[in-house]
Structure 1
Amino acid sequence: MTQRLFFDCDTGIDDSVALLYLLARPDVEIVGIASTAGNVPVDVVTANNLAWLELCGRPDIAVHVGSPAPLVADLMTTEDTHGPLGVGHAELPTPTITPSPVDAADAWIEAAHAHDGELVGLATGPLTNLAIAIRRDPTLPSRLRRLVIMGGAFHAHGNTTAVSEWNVAVDPEAAAEVFAAFGTAGAPAPIVCSLDLTEQVVMTPDHLVRLAAAAGSTPLECPDADDERGTRSVADNEIVRHLTDALRFYFEFHHDHEDGYFAHLHDPFAAMVALDPGLVETIPAHVGVELTGTLTRGMTVADERWMPAGPNARIATGADVDAVFDELTERIGTFARSLAHR
């Protein structure tokens, strides 16, 4: 059965992998993509989304431009993690297609009304667009079939401050408003893929080789920590070439900061959960966001007893990571192969 999905992202290297995975799924209809400011500014996010869609032969999917700034805070971006254009060392072709005139918040609302009770929402960036949409239409949460959020850190250290995960740290007020909205009657509790679990989804160069092999790409390249920084891929498959250049940057970043030549694939994991919640074990919790603490602003706080307010989220706690990579590499690799022969 076809699943209709609305994707809100701040593309981003791992957002790019998530988008390719969604495009590789023939049982998924992406009804719209919202660009949110986060990893890079919103105009760069939009260009990346349009470029990937055009490369993949999907100019029919509408891309909607979101707010250029968080609800309250000044925008912070992370080009050191994702590269100056958000896609690492990759140089995507300049898109010839243009974004929709409908802004991201209105696009959320229109999609939820058009597919009332059917729409799967996936947010892998700051929650600014979704928060604005809910302000405009408070019925939106109750119209979704499911919402999956990549964000937060509960029993793990943050990756932006000691306690805050990036997507929440960029716009804590938006995250707080979204979680509060899903505490209302009739709104499905979102599944939250936090750092507690997503930092276990570790991609290695070997996974990239498996993906390239599934694509039939040559030569098979295996990035290595001893390679010269910024080494460019010569793969004959265009998708594999750009993906290798993007992920090499991500490997280099993690190597510099965590002493491991690998990459955490937070967003593709959340995309997989959005399509198949059975992939993860979850626990109910009432999630709130700290907004005023000098040391704790942006911290996600989970009351796993959910008293007295009741649960407003389900936190993902476990998954078969090997199976995740089997699915991810095979799907994207096969998709890249099909594009090379179109």
Structure 2
Amino acid sequence: MKLIIDTDPGIDDAMAIAYAAAAPELELVGLTTVFGNTHTHQSSRNARYLLHRLGLSVPVAQGARAAWGKAEHNPSSHVHGPEGFGDLVEIPDIGENHATPAAEFLVQMAQEHRDELVICAVGPLTNIADALGLDPEFASNLGRLVIMGGAVFVPGNVSAHAEANIHNDPRAAQAVFQNPPKTVLVGLDATMKTLYQSSDFEALAQHSPDMGGFLRDISEFYLRFYKEVVGVDGCGLHDSTAVIACSHTHMFDLVETGLSVVTDGDRVGATLPDASNPPVQVCRDVDGPAVVELFTRHVASLP
């Protein structure tokens, strides 16, 4: 399966990219970057650094710097740290971004790999919405779009109503759901059932001293946030769960519904069932232990 991850690394993004590198059924053919957990230039630097650590020669195409209608973005540094990787602040700037901007890169790759390409969007949906605007055939060219975002049947994580990725650009998300490719939404309904605890990170580091050790080290900041702010002992495998859904949909309970996003007011970012929009598949439940085991098994195989 040919896969592009649209990403804002981000600690859980780093975990998802490591999983994609290790999973034999996935062929990672590109990363596109977006604002979210970090500024976009940090996302791109972090993505290139991760690929270097993983020994992968994969293009990184830089994308949107802010949400539709906004000039700037305030990153989630309280969740992911000032540079996106927890307490790690000295991150080498290795390599260069692809010459083509993210939205154009996505359009070109969908044309080149028609019906075969899966895009897993684990940040705000700005690049995806921009690609849809660039090419009216983008949606039909894609094999599938898998989104980590939304909280359709459960509370949000940045407000009572909204999940962070959708909240960061609700207008772009609404545009995607009004004209979706074949889409699977993996939101908090599923990902909060895939908790990864400090003991899991320690076991991962024992089997994979380099990459597993790196993920363990940067996760300490993330785990503190979850314990002190969320009150949970462990972090959700948010982005990794979405990547796993690209190839292991049998692990998920899927319901079909159209979706819409509240774009202003006190419920901004809420992702709601809406029969007037084309249907997408929404993950309502997941075999959480199976996802955790699969993630660990594959990432533990890395050096």
- TM bucket, shorter chain: over 0.9
The TM-score with structure 2 as length reference comes to 0.96
User: What corresponds to 1:229 in structure 2?
Assistant: none
1:213 aligns with 2:175: no
- Report the Cα offset of residue 210 of structure 1: 2.6
Are 1:92 and 1:242, in contact at CA under 8 Å, matched by a contact in 2?
Answer: no
Local SS of the residue matching 2:281: strand
After alignment, is 86-95 or 251-260 more displaced? 86-95
Question: Offset at 1:181?
Answer: 1.1
- Partner of residue 212 from structure 2, selected from 237, 240, 245: 240
Q: Which residue of 1 aligns with 2:239?
A: 267
- Displacement of 1:258: 2.2
Q: State the distance in 2 between where 1:154 and 1:143 align.
A: 27
What one-letter code is carried by the residue in structure 2 that aligns with 1:296?
R
Are the structure 2 counterparts of residues 288 and 310 from structure 1 closer, same or farther at C-alpha, using a change threshold of 3 Å? closer
Asked if 1:64 is matched to 2:61, the reply is yes
CA deviation map 1:40-94 (0-9, x unaligned):
1000000100001011111x20000101111113423110000001111235651
CA 1:254–1:310 in 2, change beyond 3 Å: closer, same or farther? closer
- Confirm or deny: 8 A CA contact 1:21 1:328 kept in the other structure: yes
Larger radius of gyration: 1
Out of 309, 318, 327, the residue aligned to residue 294 of structure 2 is 327
- C-alpha distance in 1, partners of 2:48/2:243? 19
1:38 aligned residue: 36
**Inter-CA distance 91–240: structure 2 relative to 1 (3 Å threshold):** farther
Question: Does 2:188 match 1:200?
Answer: no
Residue 268 (structure 2) aligns with = 297
**Inter-partner Cα distance in structure 2 for 1:119 and 1:87:** 28
Question: In 1, distance between residues paired with 2:90 and 2:61?
Answer: 19
Aligned to 1:191: 184
Q: Which of 239, 244, 249 is residue 221 of structure 2 equivalent to? A: 249
Residue pair 1:148, 1:193 contacting (<8 A) in 2 also: yes
Distance 1:159 1:61 in 2: 32
Match of 1:29 in 2: 27
Q: Map of 1:92-131 to 2, 5 A cutoff?
A: 93-131=91-129
Residue pair 1:180, 1:312 contacting (<8 A) in 2 also? no
Identity %: 29
**TM-score, normalised relative to structure 1:** 0.85
Deviations 1:272-300 (A, max 9, x none): 001222221100011001113x2111111
Please list every run of 5 or more consecutive structure 1 residues that lacks an aligned counterpart in the other structure. Answer: 216-236, 338-342
Contact 2:12 2:240 in 1 (8 A): yes
Amino acid in structure 1 at the alignment position of 2:293: D
Instruction: Show structure 1 runs of 4+ deviating over 4 A.
Output: none
